[in-house]
Amino acid sequence: MDIDFSLVLLILVVISGVIALLDRQLREKDRKAAADRLRSAQQPHSEALQAAIAEAEREPVVVEYAKSFFPVLLIVLVLRSFLVEPFQIPSGSMIPTLEVGDFILVNKYTYGLRLPVVGTKIVSINEPKRGEVMVFIPPHDKRYFIKRVVGLPGDTIRYEDKTLFVNGEQVMAEVVDEAQIEMPNGMMQSGILLNETLGEVEHLTQIINTPQRGNGRTVWVVPEGHYFMMGDNRDNSADSRVWGAVPEENIVGRAFAVWMHKEAGLSLPSFSRNGLIY
């Protein structure tokens, strides 16, 4: 089961904040008053009296933890919701740009400030650009996905014979190397590595050498307020070619850097793949 960490974090912030606020309004004054009454005794410096004062001022454990964790949780919530949020890459759909096990950083404000959990935009800043790598919630699933922005609102996208066209123009893609591509069934297929130019972004993508199969849909018109997303691992990516364009309100942020990588199992994390995402 996938856990919505943002929702959990928001709930913890609310609970700890409410506990701290209620204590301040209802109980804190009573504790201080009880301690002041003890201090007015004739022997204020006796050990027994000092112990009694300390006990009178002692906060309940729940209140103590709530007051301690509230500011920390609030700072983390603000950072994750409005500035930068970390993610881990769970699948190979963005190979060779991103590998399974990459830990990435996502800019949460570049496409506008959004309320945590609900995702409602409250401040508009920039619009997604063609070629950028974006984290979003697809129309068919509630989990976060990561793909590359291929089509903007109003664009016509065509993908035939493993060649990408945007608004009738073929996207530049130069073969740079051969590649061995792992298929979903674990088998390896020979393929090629391409240097593709989308908008102002040059990036690597890969395709297998076998011909494109089937007579499925090859042309899409991107609706207004939507974005057409594709994975860089073109033959191993379920993307907008399968489940359609992504509505603007489902945008999470722009992926901009890899900060750590960890292979599956008990292996230690590595920082060899650190760098910006193009």
* Active-site amino acid positions: 93, 147
Concatenating the DSSP letter of every residue in 222-243 gives: PPTTEEEEE-SBGGG--SHHHH
Residue pointed to by tokens 């073929």: 170
The span from the CA of 142 to the CA of 6, in Å, is 13
SS3 of 162, please? coil
The span from the CA of 233 to the CA of 22, in Å, is 53
Please name which of 100, 121, 103 lies closest in space to residue 112, comparing C-alpha atoms: 121
The span from the CA of 174 to the CA of 202, in Å, is 11
Q: Are 199 and 222 in contact (CB under 8 A)?
A: no
The tokens of 69 are what?
């964790």
Instruction: Compute the residue count for the chain.
Output: 278
Tell me the residue type at 177: D
The span from the CA of 28 to the CA of 120, in Å, is 37
The span from the CA of 17 to the CA of 80, in Å, is 18
Tell me the residue type at 218: T
End-to-end CA distance of the chain: 31
- Give me the phi and psi of 91, to 5 degrees please: -135, 175
